[in-house]
Homo-oligomer: A and B are copies of this chain.
C-alpha cells in the first residue's frame, strides 16, 4: 500500500445495522464526524432498497461536507462499511445476516461501484471497537476489547492497533462465551452465552421473571402493569429513581457481565475493556459492581493493567471504526 494519505481529506464511514443506517465523514487524520445522518434500514423492503439508501446517504453526506468545508470529490478517499456478519472481508461479501435476510451478498462492491469510490467491509462490532480505539475511550492504547450491549452483545478485539479477525473473520464473538454451561438457550444454538444474561432483552427478561416470582418494584408502575413493556432502559430508569429491586437486577447484570469480562481479561490480558450500549447510561450503578466482580474473579496481574471504561462515542463508534478500517487497509496505518 502506498503512503498517500495526505492526498485525501475525508473517509466516509457507513454503519449498517438491523434497525438503522448511520453515515458520516471523518477527516482522514481523525477528528469530529461531519455530515452525520441516520435513517431506518427497513430491511423488509429488500436488499436493493437498503443498498440504494446507503449510497444516497453517502452522496448526501459527501455533498454536505464538501459544501461546508470546501474541496472537491477528489478529496474523498473512499468508504469504510461496517455490517453485521459473518462476512468475507477479502471479497467484501456478507455471508449471512439473519437480521437483514441476506446470503452471500456482495455489499462492498455494490456500494463501491454505485458511488465510484473504493470501499472496505468489516464486521459492525469490530468497527465499533476499532472506532473507540482510534478516537474514543481507547485512544493511545495498543490493545482493547470492545463490548456493545444491545439486542445482542457484540464484541471487537483490537490487538497491537489492528482488529483481530481470526482465521475465518469470525473472531470476537464475546457475547457467545459460555458463562453457564447448562444455562439459558441462546439463539446461536449454544447454552449459557453471556448474551443471554447481559444483553438488553436479557436484562428485561430477568427483571420480569423476578417480578412474576413476587418481587415488588417500581418497574410495575413505570410500565402501568404491562410487564411485557419492561426494557433494559426501564430497569435503568427505576435504578436511578432508587428502586431496590431494579438495583438488584442491575447488580446481577454486573455480576454476569463481570464473569464474562474476567474471562476475557484472563485470556487476552488487554489494556482496556470498553463497554458500549444503552445500559452504560446506568453509569456507576453498573460500573462499580462490574469492576468489583472483575476484581473478585480475574488474575491480579491481568486486571491491574486493564481499565474497564464506558464507551466515548455512543452512536458514532461504528462510523468512526468503519472509516478507520478503510484507512488501515488503504494506507497501512490509522
Contacts and interface: CB of A to CB of B under 8 A. Distances in A.
Contact of A263 (B263, B268, B299, B306): B263
Nearest to A269: B166
Contacts of A270: 166-167
A274 to B, nearest CB: 14
Contact of A177 (B157, B177, B306): B177
A173 B305 CA distance: 15
B262 A190 contact: yes
A266 B179 contact: no
Interface string A139-151: 0001100000000
A259 interface: yes
* Interface size range on A against B: 35 or more
Contacts of A189: 296-297
Given A159-B164, A172-B269, A190-B262, 11 more contacts: A157-B267, A166-B302, A167-B305, A168-B301, A168-B304, A171-B269, A177-B266, A177-B267, A181-B197, A181-B255, A267-B268
Interface of A: 86, 95, 142-143, 155, 157, 159, 164-174, 176-182, 188-192, 197, 255-256, 259-260, 262-264, 266-271, 296-299, 301-302, 304-306
A56 to B, nearest CB: 31
Given A190-B298, A267-B267, A301-B168, A179 B179 contact: yes
Contacts of A255: 181
A299 B266 contact: no
Contacts of A155: 267
A26 to B, nearest CB: 27
Nearest to A188: B299
A173 B300 CA distance: 12
